[in-house]
Structure 1
C-alpha cells in the first residue's frame, strides 16, 4: 500500500499512514495564498486491516477529486484575519461599522478569533450563542469578582462587585450572528471555505414586535409640554407625531424639501453623529418619500419658518431655503439639531410628566392612530418609509391592523339590510 511522506506527498498527491488503531489519509491541495504554507485535506479511517486500507484508498481518491474540482478550501487563516479582511472590504455605513467593531472586539474575536476559518462549525456558533444567552461575558459559572481597576487596588474604593450573570438579548445575539454570517459569506466568495456554517446554525428567535405608543391623552400632554418649553421644540415634536418621521430624518430636514403651498415634505436623507462629528446619509431604507401635511402642521411650519428667519437676522447669519429646519442649540445655525440631543431632551421631558416613553414611540403613535382610523396599510407604510409593500408595517403593527379590520367589518355590517329572524 502507498505510504508517502514529505516531498513524495506532493508528487503522489496523497498518503495513507497508520496512526494507532486507525489510518490517516492526507492529500496535498496546494499552497495557502495568505500564509504560504502547504495545505492538506485529511480523513481518518478506523481499523488497520485490508478492508480498512481499501476504504482509505477510496477516501484518498475522493479527496483528490475534490482538489481536482477546485472545491477544496484554499486557506487556513484564522477567523480573526477573515474579520479584518471583511471590515476592509465591506461597504458599511460609518455608524453601523462603529457598532459592528464594538461587537467584534467585545464578543466575537475573543470567542472565535483564533479558530481557523475552515474549522469553524455550526456547532461552535450555536455554542457561542447559547453561552451569550446565559451570560454576556461568557463566564464559567463560578463566582468571581469583577475588578474595576488593574493591578493592586482597594476593591471597596474601586467599587468592585461580585459578578452577576446577565443574559445577552436575543436581538443582540442575532446581530452578532449577522456579523459572523457576513464574514463567512465573504470567505466563501474568496474561496477560503466551501460553505458557510452560519447558514445552518440556529440563532435565537426574533422576538415579536411589541410597539408601545403613547395614548392619545399622553401624546396631547407631551406635545403641550414641548410647546411650553419653546416653540421650535414643540414644532419638532408635533412634526414627528403627525408624520412618523425618524429622528435622524427630522434632524436632516431642510426648508428646500418642504412645500408649504402644497403641504408636502420630502424625506431624502438622515442625520447622524459619530464621535461628535455629524454627517448626512441616506434614509434607513435608501428611499426618498413624500409625506402629505395637514393644515395645522403647515400653519405651524410657516410660523416656525418666520421665527428661523428672524433668528438668522438677529445672529447676522445668511438664511436660504437650504437651511436646516431645526438647527443646533447655542446659536449655531449651521448644523442641525443632533439626534442624540433630541432623544435625551424628549426622554427628560417625558420623565418629568411621569410618562415612560421615548422619541421613537411617536413613530408608533402615528402608525397606530392611522391604522385604527381605517387608513389602508400601503398608505401607512409609505408615510413611515417601510419597504416590502407594507410587509414590515404589517409585521410590526399586526394588532392594530386587526383592530382596523374589525372596525371595517362593523362598518360594512351596519350598511347591510336587516333581516327579520323568526322566533322559535
Structure 2
C-alpha cells in the first residue's frame, strides 16, 4: 500500500487521509485506510512549522487538496509569505479577534466590555471558524443575516442598531488586521447593512399618554412637556437628590458626568460648572475617567436659581456629615457633589433605579434617565437658545447630532408657531385682495378717460362738463385706499 507520505525535513510533510471509521473502534482510520490507493478516495493534506506574529513556532495543518502536487504548492506558497501574511492565511477569525482584543490597552472599560460581548456572543459563533485571510463581504453579509434572525434577551429580533454596533466592532478588528498586514483589505467596509434610524424625541401629549395606558406601548425616546417636568421637580423637591434631578433637567448632563461631579469642579461664586470626569459602569463595576470625548470637556454657566440650589445642597451635606461624625458613624469626605449617606460617591446604576421609582410615585408617564438629557435640549430650544449653544451645553462634537436627535418641539411652541404662520398668511390675504380691487378700479378709470379723449370735441356744455368733473372726483375718492391706522401717517 502506498502511504502517500513525502517527508520533507525543512518544508513539512504532505499526506493523504480520509474520513473512514474503524468498524470496531469507530475511530478515524486517517492515513491507514486501505482504500487510499484509489485515486478518488480521500484528499491530500500538508503540515509545516512557521513562526507566528509573536515569534513563536507553531504547527500549521491544511487539507482538502485533490492531489499531492496541489498540497505541495499550497504549502510552498504559505512558506513563501511574510510572517504577517502567513498569520492571515493560517489564523482563524476567532484567534485574531481574541488576539486583537487582548492588545487593546487604551480603550475605555465600557468599550472593551461591548467589544467582548460582540465578539463572544455574535462574531465567533457565526464567522469564528473562517480563515482570516479568506474573508469576503458575501460571507459577512450572510453571517449578519443569520444574526438578524436570532433573538435578544427580550425575545425580540435584533434591531438595526445592534447590527450596526456589531459591525463597528468587526470593522475595528479587521482594520487592525489590515494595519498589521494580515489581510489585503477590510471586507467589513464593503458590507451592506440596514440603515440605523435615530429615534426622535416624542413629547408625552395627552393622546400618547392615553395610548400608553390602554396598550402599554410608549415612544422609544419620550420626553416630558414643560408642565410635566415642573410637576416632577415639584414632587421631588424634598428628595435628597433634588439638585441632581435639577441639573439633569436643566443642563442635560450625562448620568456618568453627574455621578462623577466634584465640588472642586463647581464655582458657585463665578457661576460655572466644569465637566472634567465621569463615572461609568462596565457590568456592575464602576470606572472613573475623563469624559466621553474632547467636546465633552466643557464649562457650563449656572443661573442664579441653580447656584442657590447647589449652595443649599452643600450646606445640608456638611450638616449631615457633622451629625454622623458626632454620632460616631463613618462619613467619608470624598469631595463628590452627590453621595450616599456615608459620603461615598453614588453608583451610576442607582440613579437610574431611583428615577424610575420617583416617576412611578409621581404618577407621571415613564421616561429614561437619558431622556432628561433630551428634554433639557428641547427645553433650551423652546426657550430660544440657539443650536450652537445647545451643542456646547450637551458636549456634542457634531452639531448635526444636536439638531437632528437631541432637540424636539414641545406642543406649546409648535402651536404658537402654527398660530403665527396662519395669522401671517391671513394678514397677507386681505391687503392682497384690496390691492387687486384698487388695480381694477384704476384700469377702469384709465379706459374711461381714454374713451373721452377719443370723443370729438363740441362746443362746451357747462352742465355736461360739471357733471363729468364730479364723476371723476367721485371715482378717485372711491379708488383711494382708506387709512385705518393714523399712527402710520407721516408727521
Do these two structures clear the TM 0.5 threshold for a shared fold by scoring above it? Answer: yes
Asked whether the equivalents of residues 122 and 201 of structure 1 are also in contact (C-alpha less than 8 Å), the reply is yes
1:311 corresponds in structure 2 to: 320
Equivalents in 2 of 1:305, 1:252: separation in Å?
16
Q: How far 1:8 sits from its partner (Å)?
A: 13
Distance 1:408 1:378, change over 3 A: farther
Q: How does 1:16-415 map to 2 (within 5 A)?
A: 31=50, 33=52, 36=58, 74-75=87-88, 76-90=90-104, 91-136=106-151, 166-211=156-201, 212-228=222-238, 230=239, 232-274=240-282, 276-286=284-294, 287-316=296-325, 323-328=335-340, 331-333=341-343, 335-352=344-361, 353-388=363-398, 390-397=399-406, 400=409
Equivalents in 2 of 1:96, 1:301: separation in Å?
33
The RMSD of aligned alpha carbons is: 4.1
Q: How far 1:249 sits from its partner (Å)?
A: 0.5
Q: How far 1:188 sits from its partner (Å)?
A: 0.9
Equivalents in 1 of 2:370, 2:226: separation in Å?
15
Asked whether the equivalents of residues 133 and 183 of structure 2 are also in contact (C-alpha less than 8 Å), the reply is yes
Alignment deviations for residues 102-127 of structure 1 (CA, whole Å, 9 cap, x no partner): 23222221212221111222112211
Q: Secondary structure at the match of 1:98?
A: helix
Q: How far 1:248 sits from its partner (Å)?
A: 0.9
Q: How far 1:372 sits from its partner (Å)?
A: 2.3
Alignment deviations for residues 154-192 of structure 1 (CA, whole Å, 9 cap, x no partner): xxxxxxxxx996311211111111111111111111111
Asked whether the equivalents of residues 252 and 280 of structure 1 are also in contact (C-alpha less than 8 Å), the reply is yes
Alignment gaps of 5+ in structure 2:
1-5, 12-38, 40-48, 67-72, 202-221, 438-491
Q: Secondary structure at the match of 2:287?
A: strand
Asked whether the equivalents of residues 257 and 291 of structure 2 are also in contact (C-alpha less than 8 Å), the reply is yes
Equivalents in 1 of 2:109, 2:384: separation in Å?
39
Asked whether the equivalents of residues 243 and 366 of structure 1 are also in contact (C-alpha less than 8 Å), the reply is yes
Asked whether the equivalents of residues 213 and 361 of structure 1 are also in contact (C-alpha less than 8 Å), the reply is yes
Q: TM-score, normalised by structure 1?
A: 0.72
Q: How far 1:276 sits from its partner (Å)?
A: 4.7
Structure with bigger RCO (C-alpha 8 Å, 6+ apart): 1
Q: Secondary structure at the match of 1:238?
A: helix
Q: Secondary structure at the match of 2:264?
A: helix
Distance 1:304 1:410, change over 3 A: same
Tell me the number of residue pairs that the alignment of Structure 1 and Structure 2 aligns. Answer: 355
Q: TM-score, normalised by structure 2?
A: 0.62
Distance 1:174 1:299, change over 3 A: same
Distance 1:114 1:68, change over 3 A: closer
Distance 1:268 1:407, change over 3 A: farther
Which protein is bigger by CA-based radius of gyration?
2
Equivalents in 1 of 2:57, 2:84: separation in Å?
19
1:423 corresponds in structure 2 to: 436
Q: How far 1:96 sits from its partner (Å)?
A: 2.3
Distance 1:136 1:127, change over 3 A: farther
Asked whether the equivalents of residues 247 and 339 of structure 1 are also in contact (C-alpha less than 8 Å), the reply is yes
